Amino acid sequence: MKNNVSAKKRLAAMIAVVILLLSLSGCAKQKYPPLPADAIAFGMGTYEDAEHDGALFGTIEYNGRLYVPYGTTSSAYRPTYAEKCIGYIIQDENSSSVVDPGNKDRRVYTLSGDPDNNFLLEYDETIRLMNTPSVFRALDTNGKEIEIPGYIEAYGYELWH
């Protein structure tokens, strides 16, 4: 009986070591699409919702389309939400409280399940715990029936009603 308990303890210890090594090596971590060599440096613009409540929104322009905040993801960001990284948001007085134009950590991604690129996702690579990604929606889709990936939750802005 003593050998049986000892063998169980050794097995449990080995499993704990393997889990620890995997988590430390990064094998257990989810991988985010990398920043490409031809990354777009997005400057933030502004849009005023003059039709509804006059709210001001930060904007991203991509492929001739203007994107305005729409919501977030239904859970913490998962790499499966992102199809690919297309660039980063320039950290200046228009986009951040910390001005650091060399910072490329606020990444912009196209989304899985969105072949028409009606949405973009903005995610800060430096904040891992409690990071809430922002989902931007193309303004030209306003008032149109489009497919919204199931992992997106709308903020409920008047603009999108």
27-55: pLDDT as tens digits: 334 567 889 999 999 999 999 999 888 88
Mean pLDDT of 118-129: 80
What is the value of pTM for the model shown?
Answer: 0.76
Identify the residue with better confidence: 17 or 41.
41
In the chain, domain spans: 1-29, 40-160
DSSP string for residues in the chain: -HHHHHHHHHHHHHHHHHHHHHHHHTTTSPPPPPPPTT-EEEPPEEEE-TTTT--EEEEEEETTEEEEEEEEESSS--GGGEEEEEEEE-BSTTT-SS-BTT---EEEEEETT-TT--EEEEEETT--TT---EEEEEGGGTTS-----TTEEE---GGG-
pLDDT of residue 28: 38
56-101: pLDDT as tens digits: 999 999 999 999 999 998 876 677 888 999 999 988 776 666 678 7
